[in-house]
Structure 1
Amino acid sequence: MSQVVLITGASSGIGKAVGEFLHHKGFIVFGTSRNPQNIAKTLFPLVAMDVRDSASIHQGVQEVLKRAGRLDVLINNAGVGITGALEELPSEEILNNFQTNLFGPITVMKAVLPTMRVQQRGLIINITSIAGYMGLPFRSVYSASKGALEIITEALRMEVKPFGIQIANVAPGDFATNIASGRYHAPLHEESPYKAVYGATLRMMDEHVDSGSNPQQMAEAIYKIILTPKPRVHYKVGAFMQKFSIVLKRVLPDKTYEKLLMNHYKIKE
Protein backbone atom coordinates (compact mmCIF):
# COMPACT_ATOMS: atom_id res chain seq x y z
CA MET A 1 0.00 0.00 0.00
CA SER A 2 1.36 3.42 -0.97
CA GLN A 3 2.14 5.62 2.02
CA VAL A 4 0.11 8.79 2.47
CA VAL A 5 2.22 11.90 3.02
CA LEU A 6 1.07 15.34 4.18
CA ILE A 7 3.46 18.27 3.56
CA THR A 8 2.69 21.69 5.00
CA GLY A 9 3.75 24.69 2.96
CA ALA A 10 4.02 22.69 -0.26
CA SER A 11 3.04 25.25 -2.90
CA SER A 12 6.65 26.33 -3.51
CA GLY A 13 10.26 25.90 -2.47
CA ILE A 14 11.42 22.90 -0.48
CA GLY A 15 7.88 21.68 0.22
CA LYS A 16 6.98 21.58 -3.47
CA ALA A 17 10.28 19.90 -4.40
CA VAL A 18 9.79 17.20 -1.74
CA GLY A 19 6.16 16.64 -2.77
CA GLU A 20 6.99 16.23 -6.44
CA PHE A 21 9.88 13.87 -5.67
CA LEU A 22 7.75 11.66 -3.42
CA HIS A 23 4.89 11.74 -5.95
CA HIS A 24 7.23 10.34 -8.61
CA LYS A 25 8.36 7.66 -6.13
CA GLY A 26 4.78 6.40 -5.82
CA PHE A 27 3.67 8.04 -2.56
CA ILE A 28 0.17 9.51 -2.18
CA VAL A 29 1.06 13.14 -1.51
CA PHE A 30 -1.08 15.95 -0.14
CA GLY A 31 0.32 19.43 0.29
CA THR A 32 -1.04 22.45 2.09
CA SER A 33 -1.27 26.09 1.13
CA ARG A 34 -3.06 29.04 2.67
CA ASN A 35 -4.62 29.76 -0.74
CA PRO A 36 -4.55 26.59 -2.88
CA GLN A 37 -7.02 28.14 -5.35
CA ASN A 38 -4.25 30.53 -6.41
CA ILE A 39 -1.85 27.74 -7.38
CA ALA A 40 -2.30 27.05 -11.06
CA LYS A 41 -0.69 23.65 -11.55
CA THR A 42 0.53 20.96 -9.15
CA LEU A 43 1.44 17.29 -9.41
CA PHE A 44 -0.33 16.56 -6.12
CA PRO A 45 -3.47 17.98 -4.48
CA LEU A 46 -3.24 20.97 -2.17
CA VAL A 47 -5.60 21.39 0.77
CA ALA A 48 -6.27 24.71 2.47
CA MET A 49 -4.37 25.20 5.73
CA ASP A 50 -3.01 28.15 7.66
CA VAL A 51 -0.71 26.79 10.35
CA ARG A 52 -1.42 29.88 12.48
CA ASP A 53 -5.09 28.83 12.74
CA SER A 54 -5.95 25.70 14.75
CA ALA A 55 -9.38 25.33 13.11
CA SER A 56 -7.77 25.49 9.67
CA ILE A 57 -5.25 22.83 10.71
CA HIS A 58 -7.98 20.51 11.99
CA GLN A 59 -10.05 20.93 8.82
CA GLY A 60 -7.04 20.31 6.58
CA VAL A 61 -5.99 17.14 8.38
CA GLN A 62 -9.56 15.83 8.39
CA GLU A 63 -9.84 16.46 4.64
CA VAL A 64 -6.72 14.38 4.01
CA LEU A 65 -8.02 11.56 6.23
CA LYS A 66 -11.39 11.67 4.48
CA ARG A 67 -9.80 11.44 1.04
CA ALA A 68 -7.00 8.97 1.82
CA GLY A 69 -8.29 7.03 4.83
CA ARG A 70 -4.96 7.16 6.63
CA LEU A 71 -1.87 9.29 7.21
CA ASP A 72 1.58 7.73 7.35
CA VAL A 73 3.99 10.67 7.11
CA LEU A 74 3.71 14.31 8.18
CA ILE A 75 6.37 16.72 6.93
CA ASN A 76 6.15 19.98 8.88
CA ASN A 77 7.69 22.30 6.31
CA ALA A 78 5.65 25.52 6.51
CA GLY A 79 7.80 28.32 7.83
CA VAL A 80 8.65 31.97 7.42
CA GLY A 81 11.83 34.00 7.72
CA ILE A 82 12.40 37.19 9.66
CA THR A 83 15.40 39.51 9.78
CA GLY A 84 16.32 42.60 11.71
CA ALA A 85 17.92 43.84 14.89
CA LEU A 86 15.89 42.46 17.78
CA GLU A 87 15.46 45.96 19.19
CA GLU A 88 13.75 47.07 15.97
CA LEU A 89 11.54 44.04 15.28
CA PRO A 90 7.82 44.71 15.90
CA SER A 91 6.39 42.46 18.60
CA GLU A 92 3.56 41.37 16.29
CA GLU A 93 6.10 40.15 13.71
CA ILE A 94 7.97 38.19 16.37
CA LEU A 95 4.71 36.57 17.45
CA ASN A 96 3.77 35.78 13.84
CA ASN A 97 7.11 34.08 13.31
CA PHE A 98 6.71 31.86 16.36
CA GLN A 99 3.11 31.08 15.41
CA THR A 100 4.26 29.91 11.98
CA ASN A 101 7.59 28.24 12.81
CA LEU A 102 6.84 26.72 16.22
CA PHE A 103 3.25 26.82 17.46
CA GLY A 104 1.89 25.88 14.03
CA PRO A 105 3.99 22.72 13.67
CA ILE A 106 3.12 21.75 17.24
CA THR A 107 -0.61 22.07 16.50
CA VAL A 108 -0.28 20.07 13.26
CA MET A 109 1.52 17.31 15.15
CA LYS A 110 -1.19 17.27 17.80
CA ALA A 111 -3.79 16.97 15.02
CA VAL A 112 -2.20 13.91 13.39
CA LEU A 113 -0.93 12.01 16.45
CA PRO A 114 -4.30 10.42 17.40
CA THR A 115 -4.59 8.87 13.92
CA MET A 116 -0.99 7.64 13.94
CA ARG A 117 -1.47 6.19 17.41
CA VAL A 118 -4.52 4.20 16.24
CA GLN A 119 -2.53 3.01 13.23
CA GLN A 120 0.33 2.10 15.62
CA ARG A 121 2.77 3.63 13.18
CA GLY A 122 3.66 6.94 11.66
CA LEU A 123 6.52 9.29 10.91
CA ILE A 124 6.80 13.03 11.54
CA ILE A 125 9.64 15.02 9.97
CA ASN A 126 10.09 18.59 11.17
CA ILE A 127 11.96 20.93 8.84
CA THR A 128 14.03 23.24 11.03
CA SER A 129 17.22 25.08 10.02
CA ILE A 130 20.96 25.04 10.58
CA ALA A 131 20.34 28.58 11.85
CA GLY A 132 18.43 26.97 14.73
CA TYR A 133 21.67 25.62 16.18
CA MET A 134 23.14 29.05 16.89
CA GLY A 135 22.14 32.62 17.61
CA LEU A 136 22.79 34.55 14.41
CA PRO A 137 22.93 38.36 14.39
CA PHE A 138 19.88 39.96 12.81
CA ARG A 139 18.22 36.51 12.64
CA SER A 140 17.66 36.09 16.37
CA VAL A 141 13.93 35.34 16.20
CA TYR A 142 14.27 32.93 13.27
CA SER A 143 17.12 31.07 15.00
CA ALA A 144 15.11 30.90 18.22
CA SER A 145 11.89 29.61 16.61
CA LYS A 146 13.70 26.91 14.65
CA GLY A 147 15.89 25.97 17.61
CA ALA A 148 12.80 25.60 19.78
CA LEU A 149 11.25 23.21 17.26
CA GLU A 150 14.42 21.10 17.39
CA ILE A 151 14.09 20.76 21.18
CA ILE A 152 10.34 20.09 21.04
CA THR A 153 11.05 17.26 18.60
CA GLU A 154 13.65 15.71 20.89
CA ALA A 155 11.15 15.57 23.76
CA LEU A 156 8.08 14.51 21.77
CA ARG A 157 10.03 11.77 20.02
CA MET A 158 10.49 9.97 23.36
CA GLU A 159 6.85 10.45 24.36
CA VAL A 160 5.39 8.81 21.23
CA LYS A 161 7.88 6.00 20.57
CA PRO A 162 5.80 3.49 22.60
CA PHE A 163 3.00 3.97 20.02
CA GLY A 164 5.19 3.09 17.03
CA ILE A 165 5.55 6.73 15.95
CA GLN A 166 8.94 8.04 14.83
CA ILE A 167 9.96 11.72 14.73
CA ALA A 168 13.03 13.37 13.21
CA ASN A 169 14.37 16.87 12.51
CA VAL A 170 15.89 17.90 9.20
CA ALA A 171 17.87 21.14 9.34
CA PRO A 172 18.58 22.64 5.89
CA GLY A 173 21.19 25.24 5.15
CA ASP A 174 20.73 27.77 2.35
CA PHE A 175 18.68 26.53 -0.59
CA ALA A 176 17.72 28.33 -3.77
CA THR A 177 14.04 29.02 -2.99
CA ASN A 178 11.75 32.04 -2.74
CA ILE A 179 12.02 32.20 1.07
CA ALA A 180 13.71 35.61 0.90
CA SER A 181 10.73 37.14 -0.89
CA GLY A 182 8.35 35.97 1.84
CA ARG A 183 10.61 36.92 4.75
CA TYR A 184 9.79 39.85 7.01
CA HIS A 185 12.57 42.43 6.78
CA ALA A 186 12.80 45.08 9.45
CA PRO A 187 13.08 48.37 7.50
CA LEU A 188 16.51 49.93 7.00
CA HIS A 189 15.97 53.26 8.74
CA GLU A 190 18.43 56.01 7.97
CA GLU A 191 18.63 56.97 11.64
CA SER A 192 19.05 53.37 12.88
CA PRO A 193 22.29 52.64 14.76
CA TYR A 194 22.26 49.22 13.04
CA LYS A 195 21.79 50.57 9.49
CA ALA A 196 25.24 49.86 8.02
CA VAL A 197 25.91 46.42 9.46
CA TYR A 198 22.31 45.22 9.13
CA GLY A 199 22.16 46.37 5.52
CA ALA A 200 25.36 44.49 4.70
CA THR A 201 24.11 41.37 6.51
CA LEU A 202 20.80 41.50 4.66
CA ARG A 203 22.57 41.60 1.30
CA MET A 204 24.79 38.69 2.35
CA MET A 205 21.80 36.56 3.39
CA ASP A 206 20.00 37.17 0.10
CA GLU A 207 23.15 36.24 -1.84
CA HIS A 208 23.45 33.00 0.13
CA VAL A 209 19.86 32.05 -0.74
CA ASP A 210 20.30 32.99 -4.40
CA SER A 211 23.41 30.82 -4.66
CA GLY A 212 22.01 28.09 -2.43
CA SER A 213 21.79 24.37 -3.06
CA ASN A 214 19.16 22.68 -5.20
CA PRO A 215 16.02 21.78 -3.14
CA GLN A 216 16.24 18.35 -4.78
CA GLN A 217 18.88 17.52 -2.15
CA MET A 218 16.30 18.00 0.58
CA ALA A 219 13.83 15.82 -1.31
CA GLU A 220 16.35 13.00 -1.62
CA ALA A 221 17.34 13.27 2.05
CA ILE A 222 13.73 13.15 3.22
CA TYR A 223 12.99 10.18 0.95
CA LYS A 224 15.86 8.26 2.57
CA ILE A 225 14.58 9.12 6.05
CA ILE A 226 11.11 7.83 5.18
CA LEU A 227 12.68 4.52 4.10
CA THR A 228 14.72 4.27 7.32
CA PRO A 229 13.01 2.02 9.92
CA LYS A 230 14.48 3.90 12.89
CA PRO A 231 15.48 7.44 11.87
CA ARG A 232 18.02 9.49 13.79
CA VAL A 233 16.92 12.48 15.84
CA HIS A 234 18.78 15.13 13.81
CA TYR A 235 19.75 15.41 10.15
CA LYS A 236 21.56 18.33 8.50
CA VAL A 237 21.40 19.01 4.77
CA GLY A 238 23.44 21.75 3.13
CA ALA A 239 26.88 22.97 2.17
CA PHE A 240 29.85 21.52 4.08
CA MET A 241 30.77 24.76 5.87
CA GLN A 242 27.17 25.32 6.99
CA LYS A 243 27.05 21.87 8.58
CA PHE A 244 30.59 22.26 9.93
CA SER A 245 29.54 25.45 11.73
CA ILE A 246 27.47 23.28 14.08
CA VAL A 247 30.52 21.16 14.87
CA LEU A 248 32.58 24.27 15.56
CA LYS A 249 29.94 25.59 17.96
CA ARG A 250 30.07 22.32 19.86
CA VAL A 251 33.86 22.22 20.25
CA LEU A 252 34.96 25.86 20.43
CA PRO A 253 34.75 28.10 23.51
CA ASP A 254 31.68 30.34 23.37
CA LYS A 255 33.63 33.57 22.96
CA THR A 256 35.79 32.12 20.20
CA TYR A 257 32.75 31.00 18.26
CA GLU A 258 31.09 34.37 18.83
CA LYS A 259 34.19 36.08 17.41
CA LEU A 260 34.05 33.89 14.30
CA LEU A 261 30.44 34.88 13.69
CA MET A 262 31.13 38.56 14.27
CA ASN A 263 34.04 38.44 11.81
CA HIS A 264 31.85 36.66 9.27
CA TYR A 265 29.15 39.31 9.55
CA LYS A 266 31.75 42.12 9.80
CA ILE A 267 30.52 43.32 13.19
CA LYS A 268 33.13 45.31 15.09
CA GLU A 269 33.26 45.60 18.85
Structure 2
Amino acid sequence: MPEATGRQSIFITGAASGMGRETARLFQQQGWFIGAFDLNQAGLEALQAELGADNCLIGQLNVSDKIAYEQAINSFDAATGGLMDILFNNAGIAMRGFFDEIPFEEQMRLVQVNFVGVLNGIHTALPLLKATPNALCFTTSSSSATMGMPLIAVYSATKHAVKGLTEALSNEFRRHDIRVADVLPGLIRTGMPDDTMLAAASDTGAFRVIEAIEVAKVVWEAYQSDTLHWYVPEELAELDKAAGNNPERLRDKLARQL
Protein backbone atom coordinates (compact mmCIF):
# COMPACT_ATOMS: atom_id res chain seq x y z
CA MET A 1 0.00 0.00 0.00
CA PRO A 2 1.30 3.50 -0.83
CA GLU A 3 1.94 5.81 2.11
CA ALA A 4 1.85 9.56 2.56
CA THR A 5 5.21 9.56 4.38
CA GLY A 6 4.68 12.98 5.91
CA ARG A 7 3.02 14.62 2.92
CA GLN A 8 -0.23 16.52 3.24
CA SER A 9 -3.19 14.49 2.01
CA ILE A 10 -6.56 14.89 0.32
CA PHE A 11 -9.38 12.33 0.09
CA ILE A 12 -11.42 12.82 -3.11
CA THR A 13 -14.67 11.13 -4.10
CA GLY A 14 -15.70 11.12 -7.75
CA ALA A 15 -11.98 11.19 -8.53
CA ALA A 16 -11.94 9.11 -11.71
CA SER A 17 -13.06 11.94 -14.00
CA GLY A 18 -13.98 15.60 -14.29
CA MET A 19 -13.47 17.93 -11.35
CA GLY A 20 -12.26 15.17 -9.03
CA ARG A 21 -9.63 13.99 -11.47
CA GLU A 22 -8.36 17.51 -12.13
CA THR A 23 -8.16 18.14 -8.38
CA ALA A 24 -6.14 14.96 -7.89
CA ARG A 25 -3.73 16.04 -10.63
CA LEU A 26 -3.29 19.54 -9.25
CA PHE A 27 -2.69 18.48 -5.66
CA GLN A 28 -0.25 15.74 -6.67
CA GLN A 29 1.70 18.34 -8.64
CA GLN A 30 1.88 20.35 -5.40
CA GLY A 31 3.42 17.38 -3.60
CA TRP A 32 0.31 16.09 -1.81
CA PHE A 33 -0.69 12.47 -1.26
CA ILE A 34 -3.94 11.61 -3.01
CA GLY A 35 -6.76 9.32 -1.94
CA ALA A 36 -8.85 8.81 -5.07
CA PHE A 37 -12.18 6.99 -4.80
CA ASP A 38 -14.91 6.36 -7.35
CA LEU A 39 -17.11 3.63 -8.80
CA ASN A 40 -15.14 3.79 -12.06
CA GLN A 41 -12.27 1.36 -11.48
CA ALA A 42 -10.79 1.77 -14.95
CA GLY A 43 -10.71 5.55 -14.53
CA LEU A 44 -9.05 5.19 -11.13
CA GLU A 45 -6.38 2.88 -12.51
CA ALA A 46 -5.65 5.34 -15.32
CA LEU A 47 -5.34 8.14 -12.78
CA GLN A 48 -3.02 6.09 -10.59
CA ALA A 49 -0.83 5.31 -13.60
CA GLU A 50 -0.61 9.02 -14.34
CA LEU A 51 0.08 10.18 -10.79
CA GLY A 52 2.34 7.33 -9.76
CA ALA A 53 1.52 4.40 -7.50
CA ASP A 54 3.50 5.91 -4.61
CA ASN A 55 1.50 9.13 -4.75
CA CYS A 56 -2.04 7.83 -4.99
CA LEU A 57 -4.22 5.41 -3.06
CA ILE A 58 -7.22 4.33 -5.15
CA GLY A 59 -10.36 2.39 -4.34
CA GLN A 60 -13.85 1.73 -5.61
CA LEU A 61 -16.49 3.44 -3.51
CA ASN A 62 -20.24 3.87 -3.60
CA VAL A 63 -20.57 6.93 -1.36
CA SER A 64 -24.14 6.02 -0.40
CA ASP A 65 -22.85 2.82 1.27
CA LYS A 66 -21.73 3.75 4.80
CA ILE A 67 -19.90 0.48 5.43
CA ALA A 68 -17.99 0.79 2.16
CA TYR A 69 -17.13 4.37 3.08
CA GLU A 70 -15.76 3.25 6.43
CA GLN A 71 -13.55 0.71 4.66
CA ALA A 72 -12.25 3.40 2.29
CA ILE A 73 -11.48 5.77 5.16
CA ASN A 74 -9.75 2.98 7.08
CA SER A 75 -7.42 2.33 4.14
CA PHE A 76 -6.68 6.06 3.87
CA ASP A 77 -6.10 6.21 7.62
CA ALA A 78 -3.50 3.46 7.35
CA ALA A 79 -1.75 5.24 4.47
CA THR A 80 -1.58 8.66 6.15
CA GLY A 81 -1.07 7.79 9.78
CA GLY A 82 -4.54 8.93 10.77
CA LEU A 83 -4.40 12.36 9.13
CA MET A 84 -6.49 14.06 6.41
CA ASP A 85 -5.85 17.66 5.43
CA ILE A 86 -8.81 17.88 3.04
CA LEU A 87 -11.96 15.84 2.60
CA PHE A 88 -13.35 16.65 -0.84
CA ASN A 89 -16.92 15.37 -1.10
CA ASN A 90 -17.19 15.61 -4.86
CA ALA A 91 -19.09 12.52 -6.05
CA GLY A 92 -22.52 13.26 -7.46
CA ILE A 93 -25.05 12.26 -10.09
CA ALA A 94 -27.66 14.22 -12.03
CA MET A 95 -30.73 13.59 -14.15
CA ARG A 96 -33.02 15.93 -16.05
CA GLY A 97 -36.76 15.82 -16.45
CA PHE A 98 -40.03 16.97 -14.97
CA PHE A 99 -40.43 15.96 -11.33
CA ASP A 100 -43.62 14.01 -12.00
CA GLU A 101 -42.02 12.09 -14.87
CA ILE A 102 -38.91 10.82 -13.07
CA PRO A 103 -39.40 7.51 -11.22
CA PHE A 104 -39.36 7.91 -7.45
CA GLU A 105 -36.61 5.31 -7.10
CA GLU A 106 -34.34 7.40 -9.35
CA GLN A 107 -35.08 10.51 -7.31
CA MET A 108 -34.13 8.66 -4.13
CA ARG A 109 -30.88 7.54 -5.76
CA LEU A 110 -30.07 11.22 -6.30
CA VAL A 111 -30.69 11.91 -2.62
CA GLN A 112 -28.62 8.92 -1.50
CA VAL A 113 -25.58 9.84 -3.61
CA ASN A 114 -25.67 13.63 -3.53
CA PHE A 115 -26.63 14.22 0.09
CA VAL A 116 -26.48 11.02 2.14
CA GLY A 117 -23.11 10.33 0.49
CA VAL A 118 -21.85 13.67 1.81
CA LEU A 119 -23.13 12.87 5.30
CA ASN A 120 -21.41 9.48 5.13
CA GLY A 121 -18.16 11.13 4.15
CA ILE A 122 -18.16 13.76 6.86
CA HIS A 123 -19.22 11.39 9.64
CA THR A 124 -16.65 8.79 8.65
CA ALA A 125 -13.72 11.13 8.00
CA LEU A 126 -14.29 13.34 11.04
CA PRO A 127 -11.78 11.58 13.35
CA LEU A 128 -9.02 12.13 10.75
CA LEU A 129 -10.01 15.74 10.19
CA LYS A 130 -10.04 16.36 13.95
CA ALA A 131 -6.54 14.91 14.22
CA THR A 132 -5.18 17.21 11.48
CA PRO A 133 -4.45 20.88 12.26
CA ASN A 134 -6.30 23.36 10.03
CA ALA A 135 -8.15 20.63 8.12
CA LEU A 136 -10.73 21.49 5.46
CA CYS A 137 -14.05 19.75 4.81
CA PHE A 138 -14.95 20.76 1.25
CA THR A 139 -18.02 19.72 -0.75
CA THR A 140 -19.26 20.17 -4.29
CA SER A 141 -22.61 21.95 -4.22
CA SER A 142 -23.99 23.54 -7.41
CA SER A 143 -25.20 26.75 -9.00
CA SER A 144 -28.63 25.13 -8.66
CA ALA A 145 -28.27 25.68 -4.90
CA THR A 146 -28.77 29.40 -5.50
CA MET A 147 -32.37 28.91 -6.68
CA GLY A 148 -34.43 25.78 -7.24
CA MET A 149 -34.00 24.96 -10.92
CA PRO A 150 -36.75 23.43 -13.10
CA LEU A 151 -36.06 20.05 -14.71
CA ILE A 152 -33.48 19.23 -12.02
CA ALA A 153 -35.72 19.72 -8.97
CA VAL A 154 -34.43 16.91 -6.75
CA TYR A 155 -30.82 17.44 -7.81
CA SER A 156 -31.24 21.12 -6.96
CA ALA A 157 -32.77 20.21 -3.60
CA THR A 158 -29.81 17.98 -2.70
CA LYS A 159 -27.41 20.80 -3.50
CA HIS A 160 -29.42 23.24 -1.39
CA ALA A 161 -29.06 20.70 1.42
CA VAL A 162 -25.30 20.54 0.91
CA LYS A 163 -25.08 24.34 0.99
CA GLY A 164 -27.09 24.53 4.21
CA LEU A 165 -25.05 21.78 5.83
CA THR A 166 -21.85 23.58 4.89
CA GLU A 167 -23.05 26.80 6.49
CA ALA A 168 -24.07 25.08 9.72
CA LEU A 169 -20.95 22.96 10.08
CA SER A 170 -18.67 25.91 9.29
CA ASN A 171 -19.61 27.17 12.75
CA GLU A 172 -19.96 23.85 14.57
CA PHE A 173 -16.57 22.52 13.48
CA ARG A 174 -14.64 25.59 14.60
CA ARG A 175 -14.30 23.92 17.97
CA HIS A 176 -12.33 21.15 16.21
CA ASP A 177 -10.12 23.55 14.14
CA ILE A 178 -11.83 22.26 10.96
CA ARG A 179 -12.85 24.70 8.25
CA VAL A 180 -15.92 23.90 6.13
CA ALA A 181 -16.65 25.29 2.67
CA ASP A 182 -18.23 24.39 -0.65
CA VAL A 183 -18.02 25.16 -4.35
CA LEU A 184 -21.06 26.10 -6.44
CA PRO A 185 -20.07 25.31 -10.03
CA GLY A 186 -22.09 26.35 -13.04
CA LEU A 187 -21.78 24.56 -16.38
CA ILE A 188 -18.55 22.57 -16.09
CA ARG A 189 -17.15 20.49 -18.96
CA THR A 190 -17.44 17.06 -17.34
CA GLY A 191 -19.43 13.94 -18.11
CA MET A 192 -22.49 15.38 -16.33
CA PRO A 193 -23.76 18.07 -18.77
CA ASP A 194 -24.83 16.40 -22.01
CA ASP A 195 -23.74 17.55 -25.47
CA THR A 196 -27.03 19.39 -25.99
CA MET A 197 -26.51 21.48 -22.86
CA LEU A 198 -22.92 22.26 -23.78
CA ALA A 199 -23.85 23.21 -27.35
CA ALA A 200 -26.61 25.54 -26.12
CA ALA A 201 -24.38 27.31 -23.60
CA SER A 202 -23.55 30.98 -24.03
CA ASP A 203 -20.00 32.05 -24.76
CA THR A 204 -20.19 34.61 -21.97
CA GLY A 205 -21.95 35.10 -18.66
CA ALA A 206 -22.48 33.00 -15.57
CA PHE A 207 -23.49 29.88 -17.49
CA ARG A 208 -20.70 29.75 -20.02
CA VAL A 209 -18.84 26.45 -20.20
CA ILE A 210 -15.98 26.27 -17.68
CA GLU A 211 -13.16 23.73 -17.73
CA ALA A 212 -12.95 21.32 -14.79
CA ILE A 213 -9.46 22.53 -13.86
CA GLU A 214 -11.00 25.81 -12.67
CA VAL A 215 -12.86 23.96 -9.92
CA ALA A 216 -9.63 22.18 -8.94
CA LYS A 217 -7.93 25.56 -8.59
CA VAL A 218 -10.73 26.68 -6.28
CA VAL A 219 -10.18 23.65 -4.03
CA TRP A 220 -6.53 24.67 -3.77
CA GLU A 221 -7.44 28.29 -3.00
CA ALA A 222 -10.03 27.21 -0.44
CA TYR A 223 -7.35 25.42 1.58
CA GLN A 224 -5.51 28.73 1.92
CA SER A 225 -8.66 30.64 2.85
CA ASP A 226 -11.60 30.92 5.24
CA THR A 227 -14.14 31.75 2.49
CA LEU A 228 -17.40 29.82 2.88
CA HIS A 229 -18.89 29.63 -0.64
CA TRP A 230 -16.85 29.51 -3.85
CA TYR A 231 -18.54 30.27 -7.18
CA VAL A 232 -17.26 29.00 -10.52
CA PRO A 233 -17.47 31.30 -12.37
CA GLU A 234 -17.53 34.15 -9.87
CA GLU A 235 -20.54 35.78 -11.57
CA LEU A 236 -22.75 33.10 -10.02
CA ALA A 237 -22.46 34.94 -6.72
CA GLU A 238 -24.76 37.57 -8.21
CA LEU A 239 -27.35 34.88 -8.97
CA ASP A 240 -27.21 33.83 -5.33
CA LYS A 241 -27.83 37.42 -4.24
CA ALA A 242 -30.69 37.80 -6.72
CA ALA A 243 -32.36 34.65 -5.43
CA GLY A 244 -32.19 35.94 -1.87
CA ASN A 245 -33.33 39.48 -2.67
CA ASN A 246 -36.21 38.69 -5.03
CA PRO A 247 -36.94 34.96 -5.43
CA GLU A 248 -40.26 35.58 -7.21
CA ARG A 249 -38.58 37.59 -9.94
CA LEU A 250 -35.94 34.94 -10.51
CA ARG A 251 -38.60 32.21 -10.39
CA ASP A 252 -40.60 33.93 -13.14
CA LYS A 253 -37.48 34.45 -15.24
CA LEU A 254 -36.70 30.74 -15.04
CA ALA A 255 -40.31 29.97 -15.98
CA ARG A 256 -39.98 32.05 -19.16
CA GLN A 257 -36.79 30.21 -20.09
CA LEU A 258 -38.48 26.86 -19.45
TM-score by length of 2: 0.86
Report the number of matched residues.
241
- Counterpart-to-counterpart distance in 2, 1:23 and 1:209: 33
- 1:84-134 CA deviation, whole Å, 9 max, x = no partner? 111111111111001000001111100011222234542110110011121
Which of 218, 233, 242 is matched with 1:238 structurally?
A: 233
- Counterpart-to-counterpart distance in 2, 1:218 and 1:244: 18
Which of 167, 192, 205 is matched with 1:154 structurally?
A: 167
Question: Aligned residues: percent identity?
Answer: 24
Which of 82, 87, 93 is matched with 2:100 structurally?
A: 87
Larger radius of gyration: 1
Note the residue ranges of structure 2 that are not aligned, 5 or more in a row.
Answer: 1-5
- 1:40-70 CA deviation, whole Å, 9 max, x = no partner? 4212332221101111100001101111212
Q: Is the 8 A contact 2:146 2:239 kept in 1?
A: no
Structure 1 counterpart of 2:87: 74
Letter in 1 for 2:108: L
Residues 238-257 of structure 1 correspond to what in structure 2 (within 5 A)?
238=233, 240=235, 242-252=236-246, 254-257=247-250
Letter in 2 for 1:244: E
- Counterpart-to-counterpart distance in 1, 2:128 and 2:197: 43
Residues 74-153 of structure 1 correspond to what in structure 2 (within 5 A)?
74-153=87-166
Structure 2 counterpart of 1:22: 27
- Counterpart-to-counterpart distance in 1, 2:103 and 2:202: 24
Q: Is structure 2 residue 68 aligned with structure 1 residue 56?
A: yes
- Counterpart-to-counterpart distance in 2, 1:262 and 1:38: 38
Structure 2 counterpart of 1:9: 14
Secondary structure of the structure 1 residue equivalent to 2:188: coil
Mean CA deviation greater in 108-117 or 141-150:
108-117
Letter in 1 for 2:233: G
Q: Is the 8 A contact 2:45 2:58 kept in 1?
A: no
- 1:226-252 CA deviation, whole Å, 9 max, x = no partner? 122xx1221111263x44322222223
- Counterpart-to-counterpart distance in 2, 1:264 and 1:104: 32
Q: Is structure 2 residue 216 aligned with structure 1 residue 219?
A: yes
